[in-house]
Copies of this chain bind each other. A is one copy, B any other.
């Protein structure tokens, strides 16, 4: 059985040593003293380790079941969900007005990693609710907010996102679900939606479906899509639950992983829907959910990698196999632990340096989002908008790879379900797909975000890297060699790739798009390189200041060195691929394949 321990110390290090959140001029951040965040993280860590994690394997093994139209979650899920609600966790970063605790998003993200790492399938029930509530918060009328938000913030009612239909996912303009206007101002929603995470279940009194549909007679394609609130049970004026709405579960999908989450086919048969936001502007409203959801999914990539790593590390320390070629390390035992072997180290260091770098990246991203939303910082908004596809795509691609590497440490034991390592890879696999498959993230980055506002945000990113390097000029020679020089080189590669796109993408957009996946990955590497340089600098400062826990900070610096030496050079390969252009990629006609 795998185990899970919330990485509280690491999170605290990022919040306070690296991001220095209490010094940020953002409303609500001044309350985030280290003692306070420590208390919050400790509590979250407890529930993650003691309540959610033990149900992870249960969820995988039992899955959800549909009986006579009712969806049942795995044994123990409901009790755990009630505990989460009692602790007020679902509303941690929601407005007080609706019953939330109004903490910044950075805190929601920090604890979200713990919950996701402990049990991704379970945590999705509240994660989707959070996204749906955010959309209502941003686009709903006051009446809608008052009706739905208090119940959703507490998770008495949960939420879903309904986009995909059998014949269309990415290309939602082809959507067929329709919403017929009624005389009373409501709509009758009819159609089939698939892949609906947390689509139905037995843990909440009501489920608030946000459904994309077309109002007949509206504009063609994506411009004629509107967003509707379709509750499972209609809500009476006094807030009590009324009659059952015309929405039902067609089936629960059999999936590769996240078995504990009920991924449903949802059938809408003239269900009563309420327009959310403006007619035909449904995509804009949906994107409020999607951008938040994409950061959340990037965080899942990290969370599964961290959880898998913890177990791989424990196994590598425990399992005796072979001898250290440089000298026996465990003379009293029949063999040395796996961790003595250089290739096992290489594997573990890949995982460790990814997880810690990714954590800094995701918390930095959440911090940017707080800056944008709470301090109305347009630059921060532009930067996080640019980097959202990088966070989602890079962290989930790499996060998945890391779960595969963690599984590899176990040898044959990694392949049998008994040890739980297979579940990490099977669960992590979905994050590369949902909320926009990673190819779509790369397209969003290169085809849209890069040129947004005249390329202002990507310029700001490079400026940020440059400023950091300049400000680090007084660091030691070793630091410059190990951190600043590689960061500069990688950033230069990234700029060269952007330049290639500018010079060649005009002539033929395929020259840019054929390199989009490589660009997303090299951007991710530069971001993690920047985070590692930041972390190492902060760790060095702590050491210089005589921190009592010097070993912690020295480990941080050593782990950063690994990333800079062994991972960051990947930017050169990505650049080479990009600069080879689209010709070899597009050479064949479809029939020639």
1/0 per position for A140-183, CB-CB distance to B under 8 A?
Answer: 00000000000000000000000010011111001000000000
> Which A312-346 residues sit within 8 Å CB-CB of chain B?
313, 317, 320-322, 325-326, 334-335, 337, 339-346
Min Cβ gap A31→B in Å is 34
Contact between B321 and A170, CB atoms less than 8 A apart = yes
Residues of B within 8 A of A566 (CB): 577, 580, 584-585
- Expressed in whole angstroms, the Cα–Cα distance for A565 and B164 within the complex equals 36
Residues of B within 8 A of A320 (CB): 167, 171, 174
A195 an interface residue at 8 Å Cβ cutoff? yes
Contact between B517 and A439, CB atoms less than 8 A apart = no
A573 an interface residue at 8 Å Cβ cutoff? yes
A275 an interface residue at 8 Å Cβ cutoff? no
Residues of B within 8 A of A253 (CB): 416, 418
A8 an interface residue at 8 Å Cβ cutoff? no
> Which A419-448 residues sit within 8 Å CB-CB of chain B?
422, 425-426, 429-430, 432-434, 437-439, 442-443, 447
> Which of A46-54, A68-76, A505-513, A534-542 has 4 or more CB atoms under 8 Å from chain B?
A505-513
Residues of B within 8 A of A442 (CB): 343
If the complex has contacts A169-B412, A566-B577, A584-B558, are A256 and B345 also in contact, measured as CB distance less than 8 A? no
1/0 per position for A487-525, CB-CB distance to B under 8 A?
Answer: 000000000000000000000111001101100000000
Contact between B412 and A345, CB atoms less than 8 A apart = no
If the complex has contacts A415-B430, A433-B412, A569-B573, are A345 and B171 also in contact, measured as CB distance less than 8 A? no
Q: Helix, strand, loop or mixed for chain A's interface?
A: helix
Residues of B within 8 A of A438 (CB): 408
Contact between A344 and B439, CB atoms less than 8 A apart = yes
A385 an interface residue at 8 Å Cβ cutoff? no
A23 an interface residue at 8 Å Cβ cutoff? no
Copies of this protein in the complex: 2
Min Cβ gap A127→B in Å is 17
A572 an interface residue at 8 Å Cβ cutoff? yes
* CB closest residue in chain B, given A590: B339
B313, B321, B434, B558: the one contacting A168 at CB < 8 Å is: B321
Residues of B within 8 A of A400 (CB): 404
1/0 per position for A337-378, CB-CB distance to B under 8 A?
Answer: 101111111111100100000000000000000000000000
- Expressed in whole angstroms, the Cα–Cα distance for A335 and B344 within the complex equals 47
- Expressed in whole angstroms, the Cα–Cα distance for A508 and B325 within the complex equals 9
Contact between A342 and B585, CB atoms less than 8 A apart = yes
Contact between B555 and A416, CB atoms less than 8 A apart = no
> Interface residue count for A (Cβ, 8 Å)?
94
A414 an interface residue at 8 Å Cβ cutoff? yes
Residues of B within 8 A of A170 (CB): 321-322, 411
- Expressed in whole angstroms, the Cα–Cα distance for A317 and B167 within the complex equals 14
Residues of B within 8 A of A313 (CB): 593
B347, B422, B555: the one contacting A256 at CB < 8 Å is: B422
A586 an interface residue at 8 Å Cβ cutoff? yes
Contact between A254 and B417, CB atoms less than 8 A apart = yes
- Expressed in whole angstroms, the Cα–Cα distance for A257 and B400 within the complex equals 17
If the complex has contacts A349-B585, A555-B588, A561-B587, are A509 and B325 also in contact, measured as CB distance less than 8 A? yes
- Expressed in whole angstroms, the Cα–Cα distance for A516 and B325 within the complex equals 14
Residues of B within 8 A of A164 (CB): 412
- Expressed in whole angstroms, the Cα–Cα distance for A566 and B584 within the complex equals 8
A391 an interface residue at 8 Å Cβ cutoff? no
A551 an interface residue at 8 Å Cβ cutoff? yes
B254, B349, B513: the one contacting A341 at CB < 8 Å is: B513
B415, B509, B588: the one contacting A255 at CB < 8 Å is: B415
- Expressed in whole angstroms, the Cα–Cα distance for A430 and B429 within the complex equals 17
B337, B412, B432: the one contacting A434 at CB < 8 Å is: B412
- Expressed in whole angstroms, the Cα–Cα distance for A346 and B434 within the complex equals 20
Residues of B within 8 A of A588 (CB): 349, 555, 558-559
Contact between B418 and A352, CB atoms less than 8 A apart = no
A213 an interface residue at 8 Å Cβ cutoff? no
- Expressed in whole angstroms, the Cα–Cα distance for A592 and B587 within the complex equals 50
Q: A561-B587, A565-B580 are in contact. List 4 more A-B contacts (CB 8 A).
A: A170-B322, A170-B411, A326-B508, A562-B585
Interface pairs (8), CB distance under 8 Å: A168-B321, A195-B416, A342-B514, A342-B582, A346-B585, A349-B584, A408-B433, A415-B429
- Residues of A at the B interface (CB closer than 8 Å) are 164, 167-171, 174, 194-195, 253-257, 263, 313, 317, 320-322, 325-326, 334-335, 337, 339-349, 352, 400, 404, 407-408, 411-412, 414-418, 422, 425-426, 429-430, 432-434, 437-439, 442-443, 447, 508-510, 513-514, 516-517, 551, 554-555, 558-559, 561-562, 565-566, 569-570, 572-573, 576-577, 580, 582, 584-588, 590, 592-593
